[in-house]
Amino acid sequence: MALVAQEKITVDHLSGILSTVIDKAEFGSIILDEDSFVIMWNQKMTLFSGIETNDALGKNLEQLFNGVLLARFQNSIKQALTLGMSSVLSHKFHGAVLPLSNKDGGALLFTTYIKPITIDPNNRNCLIEIHDITNVEAREKRLRKITQEQHDNETRLRLLTDNLPAVIHQVRILEDGTKKASYLSRGVEQLLSTDYDAISNDPDFLRKKIVTDDVSLLDDVMADVIEHSTERDIIVRVNINEKVKKWVHMFLRGREGRAGQKVVDGLYLDVTNVKVVEEELRRLATTDSLTGISNRRHLMDSSEREFSMAHRYATPLSVLLLDIDHFKSVNDSFGHAAGDAVLETFARTIKGVTRQTDIFGRYGGEEFVVTLPHSTCVNAMAIAEKIRKIIETMNCGYDNLSVTVSIGVAEMTSDDKTLDEVLKRADTAVYEAKNSGRNCVASN
């Protein structure tokens, strides 16, 4: 007897706990008996419906909510009680199954669960749970908005980068050192005249097209950028096809990605046009516009460089100073056009007989200089004589117009501190050649 009493107390105690748990539950709970009358109505239900537990007990849902229930709701309750079926009624399909409100008085968003509960085999009840999904819905709306915004941003960024006259390229470096392409803008199609899909997944697509001489430069820079998370830029030549090359300015920036792996952001600009202009500017700055050979400044710069080298390594160096004889009278008798023609032909003719390493330029007016590295005075005299002879027979395209040249030769000595000193001696030699009747070579 004592044991039975003890068991009964335990059961009562448990059922007491259970009632409290259901009563305090975070969701609305209703229990209906086999005839669909309310036998349990928890605190949340009171909050949602404004109906006190005591007013709810013993009534059915139609009475409590003054109306006809949704057919599926009604049927689900019936199926739970008679056949033991559980059902879920989602907000997406049904909206609010019961007219419930949240704590602010607004319509409650909820999902309804209907389950059979069997307390003893002959007595099946039905548990209805009302789960507030206001937060879920708000969260989903927020997520949707963020997703949409992200999508918009991405589209905008794509549009921007794809229409940029540059290529944006992002590569991830995996732990084993292999590279993986993570982004490439459409601009690459224009840069390389290639199909986007053919290369978009290849992290080394540009490297494969770079001219052989520049590959090691890129590799060095890439290694530096990755290792030190730094920024570098280089200009490389890229083979577009067998005939066309382009100059590409690569801006590379290494950094750590969010997951700790290395990322290289690349911006590639086609600077071919800039390079072409640059080349042209350099040509203009270094050449004499009339004769197409080096101008005085470039002539002197290059010659001085050779002078320094010769000085340092104690190798011979000689200088020829050439002065066209009676040039003034050519201008006076044949006109300036003829004078120009003489200068042009003169320059072209001498360029044809000088070596690749010789420096030939216009010193000013009708004076020209040939700097001959590795040449002693004797060698230089031989070359000067060769020049003198060629000029004698030079045809300038004008009848009865022929010119001759006087050439002064000077060799650098170990005492010479500057090229000027050598040139000065060559100048003296020219003076001597002129005095000797012109059309001859003199040395000093």
Partner 1 sequence: MMNLESLDWSEDQIDALTEIMNMGIGVAAKSLSDMVGEEVILNIPKIRLVSRSEITNDLAERNPEGLSYVFQDFKGSVFGRSALLFPIQKSFNLVKALLKDMVNDDEMTEMEQEALSEVGNVILNACIATMVDTLGLEVEVEIPQYIRGGPVGVLLAGDSELDDTQTNLFCAVDFKTHESGIEGYVLFLLELPSVKNLKKSLEEYVNNVLGE
Enumerate binding residues for partner 1 (CB under 8 A): 71-72, 79, 83-94, 111, 113, 115-116, 118, 133, 136-137, 140, 143-144, 147-148
CB of 87 to partner 1, least distance (A): 6
Report which residue type is found at 444: N
Q: How far apart are CA 404 and CA 390, in angstroms?
A: 9
Order across the sheet with 359-364: list the strands.
Answer: 359-364, 367-373, 317-324, 405-411, 441-443
Tokens of 226: 């990755």
CB of 65 to partner 1, least distance (A): 20
| Whether residue 366 lies in the annotated active site | yes
Between residues 118 and 308, which has the closer beta carbon with respect to partner 1? 118
Tokens of 443: 């040395």
CB of 77 to partner 1, least distance (A): 13
Between residues 58 and 84, which has the closer beta carbon with respect to partner 1? 84
CB of 152 to partner 1, least distance (A): 14
Count of Cβ atoms closer than 10 Å to residue 426 Cβ = 26
Local structure of 190: helix, strand or coil: helix
Between residues 100 and 222, which has the closer beta carbon with respect to partner 1? 100
**Catalytic pick from 7, 366, 392, 421?**
366
Q: How far apart are CA 303 and CA 319, in angstroms?
A: 9
H helices present in 25-94, as ranges: 43-49, 53-56, 61-65, 71-83, 91-94
Helices vs strands, H then E, count in the chain: 16, 15
CB of 113 to partner 1, least distance (A): 6
Q: Which residue has the tokens 């070359």?
A: 383
Between residues 136 and 218, which has the closer beta carbon with respect to partner 1? 136
CB of 161 to partner 1, least distance (A): 23
Strands 28-32 and 123-132: antiparallel
Between residues 72 and 207, which has the closer beta carbon with respect to partner 1? 72
DSSP 208: G
Helix axes 336-353, 377-392, angle to 10 degrees: 140
Element (H, E) at 140: helix 134-162
Q: How far apart are CA 307 and CA 427, in angstroms?
A: 17
Local structure of 262: helix, strand or coil: strand
Contacts of 229 (CB under 8 A, 6+ apart): 254, 255, 256, 262
CB of 66 to partner 1, least distance (A): 23
Q: What is the secondary structure of 297-312 as a DSSP string?
A: HHHHHHHHHHHHHHHH
Between residues 111 and 294, which has the closer beta carbon with respect to partner 1? 111
Q: How far apart are CA 300 and CA 178, in angstroms?
A: 51
CB of 22 to partner 1, least distance (A): 16
63-91 burial, b if ≥16 CB within 10 A, otherwise e?
ebeeeebbeebeebbebbbeeebebebeb
CB of 162 to partner 1, least distance (A): 22
What's phi and psi for 224, nearest 5 deg? -65, -45
* Catalytic annotation, residues: 366
